[in-house]
């Protein structure tokens, strides 16, 4: 079988260990000190990237691209560490990466970025991305990108892909009850929204990092503007979920009473 062209869609998000506080800005909702917050590659997209690199290693002649939309200054910081994980080539779209960008606008910008990849052959294309997003959690962007590119074979919640010699493949998709649906696809083009997969995070490899950075730095310099104006998008309110804690200390309570009280609390 000929090599695959695997395109991973991903962006940066604030480090999940940071406290996020929504504020009103002239352009709509934003995060307080967003540009100052340390960022990471979206964990869902990171799983997709690692799975893409693992698949490319197995199928000779394959290549991996990462199409990333975000502020290029923040992308450069994050890529310094991500570049050491696996080999890939990056396409940079310079625009907002927060959780308040419109999903349809984001999808249109990402689809244009994929279309602009030189020598792209949709007959060999596998679109990878996160099943969900740590910034939006809509689960909509990836699907819309696939539709815009004419990729109708879509699989969501994927944990495993198994390629055959003839280019066909099977995927395991998560469904209810901790079960999997096993599907078979005749081949590319196809879209896979990854869950967590089964791969550990690859160790840092400085040599891979140096090879990647030779391509990443010019790509950042040539980043295509993607402003995402958000016209017609309106948020009624944005707030941090309130925390509720009710603590009562009771000594020597019978187990049956504790269980009954918990059940009553859950029902209420």
227 vs 24 pLDDT, higher one: 227
- Domain range summary for the chain, segments of one domain joined by +: 5-225
- The pTM score is 0.83
pLDDT of amino acid 1 = 64
pLDDT of amino acid 61 = 92
Angle, CA 69 vertex, CA 230 and CA 194 arms, to 5°: 110
Query: For 173-208, what is each residue's pLDDT tens digit?
Result: 998 888 999 999 999 999 999 998 888 899 999 999
15 vs 239 pLDDT, higher one: 15
User: How far apart are the C-alpha atoms of 248 and 21, rounded to whole Å?
Assistant: 30
Contacts of 197 (CB under 8 A, 6+ apart): 47, 50, 51, 158, 159, 160
Percentage of the residues of the chain whose pLDDT score is greater than 90: 51
Q: What is the CATH number of domain 5-225?
A: 3.40.50.620
> What's the mean per-residue pLDDT of the chain?
87
User: How far apart are the C-alpha atoms of 245 and 113, rounded to whole Å?
Assistant: 46
Query: For 32-47, what is each residue's pLDDT tens digit?
Result: 777 777 888 989 999 9
């Amino acid at each position: 079988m000929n090599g695959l062209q695997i395109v991973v869609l991903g962006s940066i998000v604030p480090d999940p260990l940071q406290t996020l506080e929504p504020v009103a800005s002239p352009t709509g909702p934003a995060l307080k000190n967003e540009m100052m917050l340390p960022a990471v590659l979206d964990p869902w997209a990171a799983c997709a990237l690692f799975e893409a690199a693992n698949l490319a290693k197995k199928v000779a002649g394959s290549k991996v691209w990462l199409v990333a939309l975000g502020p290029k200054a923040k992308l450069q910081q994050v890529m310094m560490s991500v570049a050491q994980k696996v080999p890939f080539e990056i396409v940079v779209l310079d625009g907002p990466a927060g959780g308040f960008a419109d999903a349809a606008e984001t999808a249109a910008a990402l689809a244009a970025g994929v279309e602009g990849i030189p020598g792209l052959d949709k007959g060999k294309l596998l679109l990878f991305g996160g099943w969900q997003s740590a910034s939006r959690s809509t689960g909509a962007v990836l699907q819309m990108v696939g539709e815009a590119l004419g990729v109708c074979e879509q699989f969501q919640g994927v944990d495993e892909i198994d390629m055959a010699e003839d280019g066909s493949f099977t995927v395991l998709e998560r469904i209810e009850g901790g079960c999997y649906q096993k599907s078979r696809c005749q081949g590319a083009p196809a879209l896979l929204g990854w869950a967590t997969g089964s791969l550990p995070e690859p160790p840092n490899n400085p040599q891979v990092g140096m090879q990647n950075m030779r391509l990443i730095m010019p790509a950042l310099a040539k980043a295509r503007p993607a402003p995402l104006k958000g016209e017609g998008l309106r948020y009624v309110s944005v707030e941090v979920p309130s925390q509720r804690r009710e603590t009562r200390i009771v000594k020597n309570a019978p187990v049956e009473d504790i269980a009954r009280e918990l059940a009553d609390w859950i029902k209420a």
